[in-house]
Structure 1
Amino acid sequence: MTDTGKYHLPAGSSADDDYDVLVTPESAGWGYSGLRILTLKPGEAHALSTRNSEFLVLPLTGSCTVTTDGKAFELAGRTGVFASTTDFAYLPAESEALISSASGGTFALPAARTGRSSLSARYGPKETVPVELRGAGACSRQVNNYCLPGTFDAEQLLVCEVLTPGSNWSSYPPHKHDETRTDEAGNPVESELEEIYYFQIDGGEHAFGYQRVYGTEDRPIDVLAEVRSGDTVLIPHGWHGPSVAAPGYDLYYLNVMAGPGQDRAWLICDDPAHGWVRTTWDTQDIDDRLPFGENQ
């Protein structure tokens, strides 16, 4: 029997009165990573208490105003996740914020539980978000690096988006980041991070993709999920990948990561059985369907 039912949350299955998706460290059974998906109708507002976690407010569709600590951040947002990157706001732990939207929209609220709050609420301009084209050939994908080491400061939180053209594979070769390891010289080579994948798929109600997660000998996990728009997959440990975009359907996922490391490192280790695939990219072109939308 697989663990798919435990770690694959189909659209609507983790909703409550306020959120389309609600994943907390408690509901996930781990220590740090969280995600909420908030939909506001035109003119609606939502009060958010961050408590012991830091948050981003990241528009998926639509625009909003984030008011906190006497500041108001106007987020112009976007028409959809395949249209462009977006501006965003950062909220530290122990904050009170109001998220309001005159025209309505859907907003991702990635979160990380943190034991400190040394940063202030800040605005993240769309123009400063690094857009990376990763891989080549059928492994070509686009990565929007919102809140990673070197792109935006946070305490524990790591956030990026991955967009994969139909028929391509991303999150490949399969990799993991579930333990803190160093090499023989003492250099860090892997960091411990819990991860959440939140999916949207272009192409209507029948659009789909696939997500694989599998374990090591001493830490088993076995997930093979057919994913659709609004689905979430939790990755507490193990090798994850590929994320497969079915032919005809472009695949989007939001990655949220956090862990116990105080240096906020994102260090991954490829599955040795498949890491050789990276060497084939040198002789292939990047898929000419990338980048998506306004980033072209």
Structure 2
Amino acid sequence: MIKICQDKPFEYGYNAITVMGEKEHDTMMDFGILRLKKDQKEVFFSENKERAFLMIKGEVALEWNGCKRIIKRESCFDYNPWVLHVPKCTEVKITGISDDSEINITSTTNDRNFNARLYSPDECASEERGKGTLNECSTRIVRTVFDYSNADYSNLVLGEVIDFPGKWSSYPPHHHPQPEIYFYKFYPENGYGFSQLGDRVEQVKNNYTIKILDDVSHPQVTAPGYAMYYIWVIRHIDKNPYKSPQYPIFESEHLWVNDKNAKIWPEK
């Protein structure tokens, strides 16, 4: 596990967090945060990489392939995301409308051509997992924007998780050989949580990033009083995509917690 700390606000412009092809701990993805102020314009183009632009907060104008849309998201905790997903050789222009906007940009190589798509909040698959088991200790909201089931042409899987205060997610512990990135936000922003990879545990805070490598399990928990949000993005491996039912692989010793009749204490 590699933790990347960001203890101050991001600078305006694009802030790279990970870069594809790093000599150590390579996730096979470019991953960063674009921060825009009002009327600031940024243009993105790649000859060989697909890109996903996930709106975290704010209001911006998007332009691509002759299309223009204004998108707005007041809170990543309360609303599903807008995501623009484009293939290689597609120019994307982004202009800030609100005083402060943040967009996550993930890129990876992909030789396949596909139609660019703007996913609306209504198209995001949102589900409440863990509900009704073990006093709701792992109840959370899981949002999946696209995966192998609806975008098998992509080399990425992209989604979000909302953790309620004091509760677990990515649980029961699971693992998969495909590299993954978690990027965190907390409400209130001075909150914190813990990320476990195998036997190692790291504290995570607002704007921190975790690289998940080496096929280790990775459950998460947030502190009481603080809601935790994180973006999760997985990079498919050639000839071994992240798809159901092969992945994720759950640790069998902990699967009993999914039983709605599971009890911590024996009945008297």
With the length of structure 1 as denominator, give the TM-score of the two structures.
Answer: 0.78
Structure 2 CA distance for partners of 1:107 and 1:17, relative to 1, 3 Å = closer
Measured against aligned partners, the alpha-carbon deviations of 1:230-273 in whole angstroms (never above 9, x if no partner) come to 00000112323321111000111100111223574331111233
* C-alpha contact (below 8 Å) 1:40/1:106 kept by paired residues: yes
User: Which residue in 1 is equivalent to 2:107?
Assistant: 111
User: Which residue in 2 is equivalent to 1:132?
Assistant: 127
**In structure 2, which of residues 177, 190, 207 is the aligned counterpart of residue 230 of structure 1?**
207
User: Which residue in 1 is equivalent to 2:84?
Assistant: 89
* C-alpha contact (below 8 Å) 2:13/2:36 kept by paired residues: no
Instruction: Note if 1:244 corresponds to 2:229.
Output: no
* C-alpha contact (below 8 Å) 2:174/2:219 kept by paired residues: no
**In structure 2, which of residues 231, 239, 242 is the aligned counterpart of residue 265 of structure 1?**
242
SS in structure 2 at match of 1:275: helix
* C-alpha contact (below 8 Å) 1:22/1:37 kept by paired residues: yes
* C-alpha contact (below 8 Å) 1:33/1:256 kept by paired residues: no
Report % sequence identity: 22
Give, in angstroms, the shift of residue 86 of structure 1: 2.2
Structure 2 CA distance for partners of 1:25 and 1:12, relative to 1, 3 Å = farther
Structure 2 CA distance for partners of 1:17 and 1:76, relative to 1, 3 Å = closer
Q: Which has the higher contact order (CA 8 A, sep 6+)?
A: 1
The one-letter code sitting in structure 1 at the alignment partner of 2:72 is G
User: Which residue in 2 is equivalent to 1:292?
Assistant: none
Give, in angstroms, the shift of residue 145 of structure 1: 0.9
Give, in angstroms, the shift of residue 83 of structure 1: 1.8
Measured against aligned partners, the alpha-carbon deviations of 1:53-98 in whole angstroms (never above 9, x if no partner) come to 21111110012222223222x2423111112002221111222221
The one-letter code sitting in structure 1 at the alignment partner of 2:167 is N
User: Which residue in 1 is equivalent to 2:96?
Assistant: 101
The one-letter code sitting in structure 1 at the alignment partner of 2:54 is L
- Provide the C-alpha distance between the structure 1 equivalents of 2:72 and 2:46, rounded to a whole number of angstroms: 21
Measured against aligned partners, the alpha-carbon deviations of 1:116-158 in whole angstroms (never above 9, x if no partner) come to 1320222212211111111131111101110113345642110
Instruction: Note if 1:208 corresponds to 2:159.
Output: no
- 1:172-187 to 2 correspondence within 5 Å? 172-178=171-177
Measured against aligned partners, the alpha-carbon deviations of 1:99-130 in whole angstroms (never above 9, x if no partner) come to 1112240001122322x132022221221111
SS in structure 1 at match of 2:21: helix
